[in-house]
Structure 1
Amino acid sequence: MTRPQPWPRQSFPYLHPTPTRWADNDVYGHVNNVTYYAYFDTAVNALLLARGVLDIQTGATIGLVVETGCTFFAPAAFPELLHVGVRVANLGRSSVRYELAVFRTEEEAACAQGHFVHVYVDRDTRRPTSLPAELRAVLEGLQVS
Structure 2
Amino acid sequence: MSNPETDPLALDRQVCFALAVANRGVLAVYRPLLEPMGLTHPQYLVMLALWEQSPRTVKSIGQALQLDSTTLSPLLKRLQAADLIMRERSRDDERQLAVTLTEKGRALRAEAEKIPPAVVGRLGVSEAALEDLHRALTHINQAALKAGALPR
Q: With CA pairs under 8 Å and 6+ residues apart, which has the higher RCO, 1 or 2?
A: 1
Structure number, greater radius of gyration: 2
Q: TM-score, normalised by structure 1?
A: 0.28
Q: TM-score, normalised by structure 2?
A: 0.27
More strand by percentage:
1
